[in-house]
Amino acid sequence: MANTFINIMNTTCPQCNKGKVFDEKSPFLNIGFPKMNKNCSNCNYKFEKEPGYFFGAMYMNYGLTVAESIATYVIAQQFFTARFDLRIIPIIAVVIIGLASFNIRLSRMLWLYMFKNYTM
């Protein structure tokens, strides 16, 4: 289980755990939409099985964003005296925008690892 988590964070192929899923060097410091490879450079595993394969990853991205928003609210609320201070909303927005690129990569990697071929 720990190896799977490390492979997801390193954005490696779910089949061989050696090839890279994304073209970028670092999954954390990139801005913009991620550029995915079509196939694994090591085992030729096809990442996008069919057109629209990653639509389900959008729902995972939404769930990650909601969880991060709630966590940000709970942490930021400790610094304000009012029960709900409107100054928390821009803080949540900055966190959501800052983690958007990371969330896209993470949700696609989770989607790939959920539906990889376990028969091999």
pLDDT tens-digit profile of 33-74? 778 888 888 888 888 888 888 888 999 999 999 999 999 999
> What is the percentage of the chain residues whose pLDDT exceeds 90?
26
Of 108, 101, 106, 5, the residue nearest 49 (C-alpha): 108
Coil, strand or helix at 20 = strand
Burial of 84 (0-12, 13-18, 19+ CB in 10 A): exposed
pLDDT band at residue 32 under the 50/70/90 scheme: low
Of 118, 116, 100, the residue nearest 21 (C-alpha): 116
The pLDDT score that the predictor gives to residue 72 is: 95
The pLDDT score that the predictor gives to residue 30 is: 65
Tell me the sheet residues that pair with 46.
39
Mean pLDDT of the chain: 85
Separation of alpha carbons 30 and 33, rounded Å: 9
The length of the chain in residues reads 120
Separation of alpha carbons 18 and 13, rounded Å: 6
The pLDDT score that the predictor gives to residue 118 is: 60
pLDDT band at residue 117 under the 50/70/90 scheme: low
pLDDT at 27 over 60: no
Separation of alpha carbons 30 and 63, rounded Å: 21
